Amino acid sequence: MASGLSRIAEMNPILPEERTLEFLLNSLRLVGGFCINEYETRTGLSFDQIAKQVESLCEVSLLTKRGARVKATPRGLSVLNSLISEFIEK
């Protein structure tokens, strides 16, 4: 670039404890959601770590899980930030 500035301001690795939230922030915004295998491959974590939260959110119709695919329902998309906050360890 002519000004000598990089297009990337900063690059930091994602810490293991932040991988789930980063993944969900990106993938649940997609209409197709994500596959469990994709979650495990990209985060390096077992789906079992979030399975209870997913099931709980399915029970209140914020997520759906069909086979190995998890996605937000239309209602879940409308409250996505609150939905994702359910995955923050308390």
The CATH number covering residue 22 comes to 1.10.10.10
* Full-model pTM: 0.81
Residue type, 68: A
Does residue 2 lie in a domain region?
Answer: no
Expressed as residue numbers, the domain containing 56 is 16-85
Q: Residue range 60-81: average pLDDT?
A: 96
Structure tokens at 64: 């759906």
Q: Measured at the alpha carbon of residue 39, what is the angle toward residues 33 and 43, in degrees to the nearest 5?
A: 135
* pLDDT class of 37 with cuts at 50, 70, 90: very high
- The total domain count for the chain is 1
Residue with tokens 């990089």: 6
Neighbours of 50 (CB within 10 A): 20
32 to 26, 64, 72: CA distances (angstroms): 11, 11, 8
